[in-house]
Chain A
Amino acid sequence: MSGTRLTSGGLIDRARRIDFTFDGRAMQGYAGDTLASALLANGTRIVGRSFKYHRPRGVWGGWFDEPNAIFSVKTPRGSLPNVLGTTTALTPGMEIKSVNAWPNARFDVKGALDLFNPWLKAGFYYKTFMKPDWHLFEPMIRKMAGLGALEPDLIEGYTSDQVHATCDLLVVGGGAAGLAAAEGAARQGKNVWLVEDHAALGGGLYRMGGTIEGLAPADWVTARKAAIENAGGRILTHTTAFGVFDHNLYGLAQQSALDVAPTLYRLRAKDCLLASGAIDRPVTFANNDLPGIMSLEAGIEYLGRYGVLFGKAIAIAANHSQTASAAARLRDAGAAVSLFDPANGDLSATGRRRVTSLRQGGRAEAVDCVLASAGWTPVLHLWRHAGGKLRWDDTLATFVPAQAPKGMAAIGAANGIFDLDQALAEARACATGEPYSPSPPRFNLTPTLPKPGAKGRQWIDFQHDVTLDDIALAERENYVSVEHLKRYTTLGMASDQGKISNIPGLAAMAALTGKTIPEVGTTTFRPPFVPLPLSLYHGPHSGQNFHPLKRLALEKLHRSSGAALGEYGGWLRPAWYGNQPGPDAAQSEARMVRAAGGILDASPLGKIEVMGPDAEAFVNFVYYNTMKTLKPGALRYGFLLTEKGVVFDDGVVFRMGPKRFVISSSSSHAEGVTGLLESWRQDGNDPDRVFVHDTTNHWSTVTVTGPKARNVTRSLGLDIDLSAEAFPHMTFRETSWNDVPLRIARVSFTGEVSFEVSIPASKVEALWTAITDAGEPFGVSPIGIEALSILRAEKGFIIIGKDTDGETMPHDLGFTLPRQKKSTAFVGDRGLHTEVANEPDRRQFVGLSVTGDAPLPTGAHLVEGADRRSFGIVTSSYISPNLNRPIALGLVERGAERMGETVTLFHLGKTYEATLTSPVAFDPDGARIHA
C-alpha cells in the first residue's frame, strides 16, 4: 500500500506545499520534509538499488544512519551528486533521481545481476579477472561501480564561509539531554555552544509522544532554548560536529540548504558534552533488505516528526522495553501492529519488490512494513576521534563509553542511558557539577545478534551488499582481523561508513571465531562523521586567494605602461611591455638595453638588514665568500650555502657601516634567506649581538642599466658624483631625493653600467616616473623580466634554481677560493669536503654554442655512449639579440676542462649537437660593466 500523510502531527508545515519530481514523476511534500519523508508520504517504496546486486531498496533509517536513500538531485541552482535523502530538506523544484539504476529504481535492467549472487561473493574479484589482463575487465567494472554521476555544472556562489570561534563548553546534540545540559551550564555563566544537526531541536522527543516534565515536547524545547539563549548560550541548528582534532578543536558544518555550501566553524572548546544520542541496530534476518523493512526508530520518527505512517499492517521485530510504546503510537495513528520478539527464533521476510510477510517458526503475518530494532547503539564517533575508549555492554549488546578523552563526557543515550528521566538528571548533574546518584536503568532487552549459518540471505551492510555469508567466507579464508574483514568484504565502507553495520558485522565474526565481540575489536571511526562537500575545506581560498601573489608597489604604473604581467617566484612582475608577442618584445628590449638602456622594476630583490656588534662575524659566517674584509660603502657578490655545501642563494652584500650590512638576496628568495639567517643567528651566535630584519617590502628598487644609464640617472639631480672614477662598480651611496632617503648602488645583472636605486616603497611611483621621463630622450624605456633573463644569460650570470640544482656547489660555478682558503668557519664548509664534493666528475657550469639559428631546447640532456648516459643538462637557452645567435648555459660533468668539445644532446627523442664554451658569451672582458 501507499504511505499515508496524516492530517495532523509532526513538525511539517502543511500550509506550504512543495512540488518535486522523483525519477520523472511529479510528487508533493511540505516544508519541513526531508526527501525521504516526502517520498515515503508519496508511497515510494523503492528509492534506489544496491551497489553490487542492484537489489531494490527502500528507506531504512530516519537520519544519518540511512544506507539506501541516495539520490542525484537537481535544484534550480544546480545539480548535486549522492544526496542523502533522509537528512536533506526538501525544497521547491527539486528533481530527484535514483542512483545506480537504469532507467530508474523501479525497473533497473541490472537487477538481473542479483541472479549471479552465488558467484559475486566477498572478494571474488581478487580471484579472477587476471587473465588475460585486468585492463580488459576494469573499464566495465568501473562503469558498474560508483553511485551517482557528477554533473559538470558549477553552482554559482557555492563557497563555504569559514569561521573561527571558541567556547567553554560545546554540547553536541540538541535532544533532551543536550538541551538540559546546555541550560545548566549556561545558567552557571559558561560560554556554551549547542549544535544540533536537525532543523529543529528536541532530538528523539517527537518520537516518544506524551509529555516531558509536564510539557508537550515542543513547549519543553522552546523553554529550554529560551533559557539557554537568555543565559548567553549559542545554539546552531542544521549543524553537524563532524570531527575532533588536536588540542580540542571541533569541526562544525552548518548547512541549511542542499545547494548552499555549508559553513565551517573551527571551534576551540575547553570541554565537550557528547549528547549525540543513539541509533537503532538492525536485526539480522533472512531477506532483511526488502523495501518496507525499516528501523523501528525510523518508523516512529517519520510518524512523529513528519506525520507519515508508512504501513497499514506493521510488524515490529524488537524486544527492548520501549517497543510497546512504539507499537501504541503506531496503533494510535491507525496501523495494525503485530509484535515479534527476534529472540524467540529465526525471522524471515518474504516479498519480491517489497516485504509482504514476516515469519517466525510457524507464525506468519501478512504485512506491508516491518520495523526492526535489535537495540540502540550510542553514537560515539566524536568520542573515538578524541581518543576515548569503548566498553562492550552485554546487557545492552552494544559498545558504551569507557575511559573518557580529556575534556569530554558523554551523556544521555550516547552514554547508554536510554530512560528519559535518568538522562535528564545525568545531563544536568554533568553540566553543573552537582552531585548525582544514578538510579538503576529500566531499559532492557534480550540481545539478538546475527547467527552464522542461519538460513536465507541475511544482510549486514545494505549499501554494499555484504551478507552473513560474506562474513563467513572471510572467516573461512582467514580474513579474521576486523580490518581484514572490513577491507575484504567492504563491510562498513559505504557512504554510511558502517554506522549500522559495524556491530552486526563484529558480532557475526565473533560468533564465527568463538571470540567475544571486544576480542574481535572495533574499527576506528574516522572523520568526517557524515560526508561533507569539499567546498567546506576549500572555503574562500579561491583564485588569487589561493597562495596570493606578491604585488609590486608599481603595479598600477606598469599596467598603464602596457606591461604584460606574469608570475615570477611568487611575484606578479612585468614580463615585457607593449603589444608585440612576448618573445619579440623581450628581444627588442634586450637589444635596447645594450644600445641605450633599460629601466627595470627590481623591487623583489631582497633587502635584509643585518646589524649589531657581531654583524661582521655573522655575515662572514653565513656567507661562503669572505665578507669581513668588505669596506663600508662597498658591496660584494657571494653565495649562501646549505650545510650540505649546496648553493642556496646568491646575491650581493652591502656594507652600510662597521656594524651594519644589507643582504640583497636574489628576487623571490628574501623570505627563505631571512629564515636561514634567523636560524643561524639564534644557533651558535649571540642573538643579543646581531639582529636580522627583512625590509624587502619596505623598499622598492628601480634599476637603470645600459650605456646611457648614467645620463638617465644624472637627471634625478642627486648630490652624488656618478662618474666611473668617483662611483665605481660594486659600490653604493646613500643620499636623499626630494627629502626621501635613497640608496643607489652600482651593481649589474646585465653586464652594462647599472644604477640600482632603492627608495621607500611609498615613494617609488614618483621615482619611477622621474626615471622613465628622463629615459625617454635617451631612447631608454622599461624592460621586463624576459629581457633581463636574456641579458644575464649573454653574460653567463646564473639564476639559482634554474642554472643550479640541488647538487650544485660553488666550486661547480667556478668559485673555488673560499673552499680552499677561507680560514674561518662558514655555513656549508664541511659539506664542501665530502666524498661527493671532491668527485672529479661533478657537473660544472658551462656555455653551449650551436651552429645555425635554432636555439637548443632548455631541458635537453647531454648524452654519451650507446646507452645514452646523461652527463649534463641545458639550463637556459635563448636567441641572443645582441650576438644574433643562439646561446645556452648548462651543467656538464667536468665541463670546465672540456671547453671546445663537441657534444650530443637529447631532447624529447631528437638529438642535437653543440660545442662547450665559456658561459660568458657577450663582452667577455667585462669592459662595459665598468664603463
Chain B
Amino acid sequence: MTSKYSAFSVLREGLRGQSGWCKAWRSPKPKAAYDVVIIGAGGHGLATAYYLAKNHGITNVAVIEKSWLGGGNTGRNTTVIRSNYYYPASSALYGLSMKLYKNLSKELNYNVMFSQRGMLVLAHSEPEMEMAARNVNAMQLNGADAILMDVADVRKKAPLLNFSKDARFPIHGAVWQGSAGTGRHDAVAWGYARAASALGVDIIQNCEVTEFIKEAGRVCGVETTLGPIRADAVGAAVAGHSSVLAKLAGFKLPITSYALQAFVTEAMKPVMDTVAFSPAYGTYFSQSDKGGLVIGGALDRVPSYGQKGNLPIQEAVLSGLVEMAPVLAKVKLLRHWAGIVDVTPDSSPVIGPSGIDGLYVNCGWGTGGFKAIPAGGYLFAHLLANGTHHEFSRPFDKDRFVTGRLIDEGAASGIAH
C-alpha cells in the first residue's frame, strides 16, 4: 500500500491503476476514554490534534465531528492567508500561522497549495494613504513584509482594477503584503486529518456532542450520539456554534453569530494574479487555480445560524466588485454560499480556558479563521497539553473583556464609528 505522497508514488500508482493508495485517514469507532477530546473536526480542531501528537507527544486524542471533517467554515471560506496586522499580538499570532503555512505541504506531505501571490489592500484617498502608511509602518515594525504601493505599482499587480480617476473610489495606492496569498481550504483540513490520523489520533465523524460529563464542577468527557467519551481535557473548536456548545457546558461567551457569504464565478483563464481588497468598496477577490474568481465581503446584517446567503449583501458585495473592476460585469456568478462565523466585540479570537475546569475554547475567529488554522492549532495544543497559555495566545484569553485589553484591529485604523 502507498501511504507517502510524492511525484514518484503518483507515477507508480498511475502504472497500477491507482489501486494501492491507503485511506487518507482512518475512521475508527470511539474508545471509551482519551487523554484529550477535541470537539470539531474543522481546520482548527484537526490542527490541534496534529500538534498535540507531534509537538507534545499526546496521541491518545479523539477529534469528534457532528458532520463531515472540514465541513464548517474551513470548507466555506475564501482561502485568504495573510498576516498584515496592526497590533503586535495579532501580528505574532498570524505571523506564526504564515510561518507554519509556508512549510505545511512538506510537513504534512499533502499539497495545501499555499500560493504566496501577494495581497493588496487598496487606499482610495490621501487620508486613506496616510492611514495605510500608519498600518504599513506597524506591520514592518511587527516584522511583516508589508510595503506601501503607489498607484503605478498597484496597476502592475492588478491591471484588472478600476484605475479611472472618475471611479467612485479612485485608487491612490495600496498596502501590499507579498507573502500573503491563498491556500486550498479542503486540503488544509484533509492534510491535517491525514497527518493526525497517522500519528494515532482518532477522527470520529458523524458524532455529535449532546452533553458534557461533569464531575465536581469539572468537565471530564462528553456524551455523544455514539455514546460517552471520557477525557482528561476537552477542547472545543466549533466555529459558528461556539455559543451553542457554551450553553450546553454552562458558560458564557462574548460572541454573536452571523452568516458570512462567499461567491465564486465560472472559471476563466488567469486575469488576476493577486488578492485585492478594497475596504471602501466592501469587497475582495482572488482567482483560484481552477480559474474562478473567489469573492468575499461584509457580514450579513442579521445575526444568523442559517447557512444560506441573503440577497441584499450579495448585491452590496457584487456591486462593489463590479465598481472595483468593471469588466467583471459580464463574468458569471456560479455559486454562492454562507458560513456561520463567531464574531467577538473586538473581532479577535478567543483562545483559553472556558471558565469551567477541564474545558478549553478556541473560537471567535470571525471572518478570518482559515488563515489562522496552523497557529490556532499550535497554540490550542499548547494550552491543552500544559493547561497554560503559550505567550502568543495569552493576549487572546477571554479575560481581556474584563480588563478592557481588547485587540481591535478595526478600531486601530481609526474606525471608532
Decide yes or no whether B33 CB sits under 8 A from chain A.
no
Decide yes or no whether A82 CB sits under 8 A from chain B.
yes
Q: Are A128 and B7 in contact (CB under 8 A)?
A: yes
Given contacts A245-B310, A802-B414, A870-B141, contact A138 B333 (CB under 8 A): no
8 A Cβ contacts from B87-115 to A: 88, 105-106, 109-111, 113-115
Q: Are B333 and A118 in contact (CB under 8 A)?
A: no
Given contacts A138-B113, A544-B168, contact A801 B415 (CB under 8 A): yes
Given contacts A142-B289, A546-B320, contact A469 B266 (CB under 8 A): no
Decide yes or no whether A804 CB sits under 8 A from chain B.
yes
Q: Are B331 and A478 in contact (CB under 8 A)?
A: no
Give complex CA distance A575, B24 in Å: 62
Chain A nearest CB, measured from B360 CB (Å): 23
Decide yes or no whether A266 CB sits under 8 A from chain B.
yes
B-side contacts of A141, CB under 8 Å: 289
A-side contacts of B167, CB under 8 Å: 543
Chain A nearest CB, measured from B374 CB (Å): 16
Q: Are B106 and A130 in contact (CB under 8 A)?
A: yes
Q: Are A148 and B269 in contact (CB under 8 A)?
A: yes
Q: Are B134 and A834 in contact (CB under 8 A)?
A: no
Category for how many chain B residues contact A = 35 or more
Decide yes or no whether B250 CB sits under 8 A from chain A.
no
Q: Are B289 and A534 in contact (CB under 8 A)?
A: no
Q: Are A873 and B134 in contact (CB under 8 A)?
A: yes
Give complex CA distance A239, B152 in Å: 43
Decide yes or no whether A648 CB sits under 8 A from chain B.
yes
Decide yes or no whether A852 CB sits under 8 A from chain B.
no
Q: Mark A883-921, 1 if CB is under 8 A from B, else 0.
A: 000000000000000000000001111000000000000
Q: Are B10 and A124 in contact (CB under 8 A)?
A: yes
Give complex CA distance A804, B326 in Å: 35
Q: Is the interface of B mostly helix, strand, loop or mixed?
A: mixed
Q: Mark B96-138, 1 if CB is under 8 A from A, else 0.
A: 0000000001100111011110000000010100111111111
B-side contacts of A869, CB under 8 Å: 141
Q: Mark B277-307, 1 if CB is under 8 A from A, else 0.
A: 0000100000101110000000000000010
Q: Are A908 and B319 in contact (CB under 8 A)?
A: no
8 A Cβ contacts from A778-816 to B: 800-802, 804-808
Given contacts A141-B289, A473-B18, A835-B403, contact A859 B415 (CB under 8 A): no
Q: Mark A137-162, 1 if CB is under 8 A from B, else 0.
A: 01001110111111011110011000
Chain B nearest CB, measured from A161 CB (Å): 13
With both beta carbons as reference points, the residue of chain A lying nearest to B282 in the complex is identified as A547
Q: Are A539 and B315 in contact (CB under 8 A)?
A: yes
Decide yes or no whether A776 CB sits under 8 A from chain B.
no
Given contacts A134-B105, A859-B130, contact A246 B310 (CB under 8 A): yes
Decide yes or no whether A723 CB sits under 8 A from chain B.
no
A-side contacts of B270, CB under 8 Å: 142-143, 146
A-side contacts of B403, CB under 8 Å: 834-836
Q: Are B266 and A859 in contact (CB under 8 A)?
A: no
Q: Are B404 and A834 in contact (CB under 8 A)?
A: yes
Give complex CA distance A146, B137 in Å: 38
Decide yes or no whether A80 CB sits under 8 A from chain B.
yes
Which residue among B289, B323, B415 has the maximum number of chain A CB atoms within 10 Å of its CB? B289
A-side contacts of B315, CB under 8 Å: 537-539, 541
Given contacts A834-B403, A857-B133, contact A145 B267 (CB under 8 A): yes
Decide yes or no whether A879 CB sits under 8 A from chain B.
no
Looking at the complex, which of B215-223, B334-342, B382-390 is the stretch in contact with chain A?
B334-342
Decide yes or no whether B412 CB sits under 8 A from chain A.
yes
B-side contacts of A150, CB under 8 Å: 268-269, 271, 327-328, 330-331
Decide yes or no whether A613 CB sits under 8 A from chain B.
no
Q: Are A647 and B332 in contact (CB under 8 A)?
A: no
With both beta carbons as reference points, the residue of chain B lying nearest to A147 in the complex is identified as B267
Given contacts A478-B27, A497-B335, A537-B318, contact A859 B137 (CB under 8 A): yes
Given contacts A527-B336, A801-B416, contact A261 B18 (CB under 8 A): no
Give complex CA distance A528, B265 in Å: 11
Decide yes or no whether B314 CB sits under 8 A from chain A.
yes
Give complex CA distance A294, B328 in Å: 33
Chain B nearest CB, measured from A125 CB (Å): 6
With both beta carbons as reference points, the residue of chain B lying nearest to A242 in the complex is identified as B333
Residue from A155, A477, A546 within 8 A of B168 (CB atoms) = A546
With both beta carbons as reference points, the residue of chain B lying nearest to A675 in the complex is identified as B417
Give complex CA distance A19, B17 in Å: 48
Q: Are B329 and A261 in contact (CB under 8 A)?
A: yes
Decide yes or no whether B23 CB sits under 8 A from chain A.
yes
Chain B nearest CB, measured from A267 CB (Å): 11
Q: Mark B392-403, 1 if CB is under 8 A from A, else 0.
A: 000000000011
B-side contacts of A538, CB under 8 Å: 315, 318-319, 321-323, 329
Q: Are A487 and B141 in contact (CB under 8 A)?
A: no
Chain B nearest CB, measured from A275 CB (Å): 23
Decide yes or no whether B227 CB sits under 8 A from chain A.
no
Give complex CA distance A523, B132 in Å: 43
Q: Are B331 and A126 in contact (CB under 8 A)?
A: no
Given contacts A142-B291, A145-B290, A646-B411, contact A672 B417 (CB under 8 A): yes
Give complex CA distance A137, B2 in Å: 23
Q: Are A806 and B415 in contact (CB under 8 A)?
A: yes
Give complex CA distance A647, B411 in Å: 11
Give complex CA distance A171, B184 in Å: 40
Given contacts A119-B14, A246-B310, A836-B403, contact A147 B111 (CB under 8 A): no
Give complex CA distance A48, B338 in Å: 33
Which residue among A126, A535, A544 has the maximum number of chain B CB atoms within 10 Å of its CB? A126
Decide yes or no whether A757 CB sits under 8 A from chain B.
no
Looking at the complex, which of A362-370, A551-559, A698-706, A860-868 is the stretch in contact with chain B?
A860-868
Residue from B191, B332, B402, B406 within 8 A of A531 (CB atoms) = B332
B-side contacts of A305, CB under 8 Å: none
Give complex CA distance A537, B332 in Å: 11
Decide yes or no whether A249 CB sits under 8 A from chain B.
yes
A-side contacts of B13, CB under 8 Å: 119
Given contacts A142-B291, A146-B290, A478-B23, contact A647 B416 (CB under 8 A): yes
Decide yes or no whether A636 CB sits under 8 A from chain B.
no
Q: Are B68 and A484 in contact (CB under 8 A)?
A: yes
Q: Are A837 and B267 in contact (CB under 8 A)?
A: no
Decide yes or no whether B30 CB sits under 8 A from chain A.
no
Q: Are A119 and B319 in contact (CB under 8 A)?
A: no
B-side contacts of A495, CB under 8 Å: 266-267, 334
Residue from B106, B267, B319, B415 within 8 A of A539 (CB atoms) = B319
Give complex CA distance A914, B125 in Å: 27
A-side contacts of B71, CB under 8 Å: 481, 483
B-side contacts of A158, CB under 8 Å: 329-330
Q: Are B137 and A861 in contact (CB under 8 A)?
A: yes
Give complex CA distance A873, B134 in Å: 8
Q: Mark B69-90, 1 if CB is under 8 A from A, else 0.
A: 1110001000000000000100
Q: Are A81 and B23 in contact (CB under 8 A)?
A: no
Q: Are A134 and B416 in contact (CB under 8 A)?
A: no
Give complex CA distance A158, B329 in Å: 8
Q: Are B265 and A859 in contact (CB under 8 A)?
A: no
Decide yes or no whether A166 CB sits under 8 A from chain B.
no
Q: Mark B1-38, 1 if CB is under 8 A from A, else 0.
A: 00001110111011101110111111100000000000
B-side contacts of A801, CB under 8 Å: 414-417
Q: Are B311 and A245 in contact (CB under 8 A)?
A: yes
Give complex CA distance A129, B191 in Å: 14
Supply 16 A–B pairs (Cβ within 8 Å), ascending by A.
A121-B18, A127-B9, A148-B269, A150-B268, A155-B329, A526-B336, A527-B309, A528-B333, A534-B330, A536-B333, A537-B333, A547-B168, A642-B416, A646-B411, A805-B414, A834-B402
Closest 6 CB pairs of A and B: A806-B411, A146-B291, A834-B404, A859-B133, A119-B14, A836-B404
Given contacts A145-B291, A859-B134, A908-B140, 18 further A-B contacts (CB under 8 A): A80-B330, A118-B15, A130-B5, A130-B109, A134-B114, A142-B270, A142-B289, A145-B267, A158-B329, A246-B310, A261-B329, A483-B75, A487-B75, A531-B265, A644-B404, A805-B416, A835-B402, A873-B137
